[in-house]
Copies of this chain bind each other. A is one copy, B any other.
């Protein structure tokens, strides 16, 4: 989009002023203002003022009749995808070692790769590729784990910003139960985190820091407490992992018998919704934990591909949504092999059917429009007004050319989206916008 100002005579012969950047996009518009139902407008217009959606219209209102229209014809225009959880350092590990058990896999692949990221040149290569692949696959906003290494993580933010993605990025804090080469002592970890926050908190418009304790088993209470205090002091959000694996949960139980459950350790340390918080996985939440997350409005980053790959278990996602927990989707690269949220949508639908196969309750099934909501507005709301085309929302959008997927029999717009979810891929995404800007 280029900067333009318009001073034109409208149909009534009056002068009409148009602000810089006001523009319309035409196509078949689909989004999910609420869970469970598409809002669809065939051959509609989205008017964008600067970075934000002004409205969606069947025909252009009079006051916009002279603005520039970018016409996408028979293509679909949908909100950009939101990835609430991935490890930016792990791109080169996709699809490797997933026959191994979790701990063997972490040692053989994950930790070693994280250590290599200390090398800024290596980090630059990996992080450039990560940012490019996220955009290629339609992700417009992401919440990303960096590594222990502050400088590499700051580089990650720089790179993500350069590509025009919106993101929260975390320097990982961990001071125990990790390989030596991935452990800071608590004092250094706290100091480095504070430097990281000060360095980055005001540096970019769409890329911001997030406090990132690796997870309870890898952090001392001292470190967790300090991170909770910094979340308040700097008003920054928090991300971590919770209840992914049964052996992880046993470990936490043994280590911290004084706590009622895993989630309450984060809560005690001010890291569970005191500032906006995302917890990845949440496969095995107890009822007490469900209540706690719902009360504190903690986001669950649902990562079904990762869960399938590592444990074969899956979060009872419709139940969590029903209890009032906000939910978005995460790729969890590289326990999740696929960097496409489109593919994660489908795996979320499949995972919900696995839950259904146990409960035989139709309500446990995630429908296509529900998965679409989680992938857009569900996760997007963590970023503010993101993930929808309602008035005031940031214009994050994808243009979908599905002409190779539709043939022989004509399909409704809803059917075209379903088909895109099931058999589409990055080849169908022909244009991406983040906060009004083509990226």
In angstroms, Cα B99 to Cα A421, docked, is 12
Interface residues on chain A, number (Cβ under 8 Å): 44
Least CB separation from A353: chain B residue: B312
Q: In the complex, are the beta carbons of A92 and B337 less than 8 A apart?
A: no
Q: In the complex, are the beta carbons of B368 and A407 less than 8 A apart?
A: no
Q: In the complex, are the beta carbons of B312 and A357 less than 8 A apart?
A: yes
The A321-351 residues at the B interface (CB cut-off 8 A) are 337-338, 349-350
Contact of A94 among B129, B308, B423 (CB under 8 A): B423
Question: Quick one: which of A94, A368, A422 has the most chain B CB within 10 A?
Answer: A422
Residues of B within 8 A of A362 (CB): 101
- A415 contacts the other chain (Cβ, under 8 Å)? yes
Taking the full assembly, how many copies of this chain does it contain? 2
Pick 5 A–B contacts, CB within 8 A, sort by A: A95-B418, A125-B408, A129-B408, A313-B357, A354-B354
In angstroms, Cα B422 to Cα A250, docked, is 30
- A98 contacts the other chain (Cβ, under 8 Å)? yes
Q: In the complex, are the beta carbons of A99 and B365 less than 8 A apart?
A: yes
- A96 contacts the other chain (Cβ, under 8 Å)? yes
Least CB separation from A409: chain B residue: B92
Residues of B within 8 A of A309 (CB): 349-350, 353
- A311 contacts the other chain (Cβ, under 8 Å)? yes
Q: In the complex, are the beta carbons of A96 and B408 less than 8 A apart?
A: no
Q: In the complex, are the beta carbons of B355 and A312 less than 8 A apart?
A: yes
Sort A-B residue pairs by CB-CB distance and give the 5 closest, nearest first: A95-B422, A312-B353, A312-B357, A95-B419, A308-B350
- A383 contacts the other chain (Cβ, under 8 Å)? no
Q: In the complex, are the beta carbons of A419 and B312 less than 8 A apart?
A: no
- A429 contacts the other chain (Cβ, under 8 Å)? no
Q: In the complex, are the beta carbons of A418 and B338 less than 8 A apart?
A: no
The A98-130 residues at the B interface (CB cut-off 8 A) are 98-99, 101, 122, 125-126, 129
Residues of B within 8 A of A97 (CB): 418
- A425 contacts the other chain (Cβ, under 8 Å)? yes
Q: In the complex, are the beta carbons of A367 and B99 less than 8 A apart?
A: yes
Q: In the complex, are the beta carbons of B422 and A98 less than 8 A apart?
A: yes
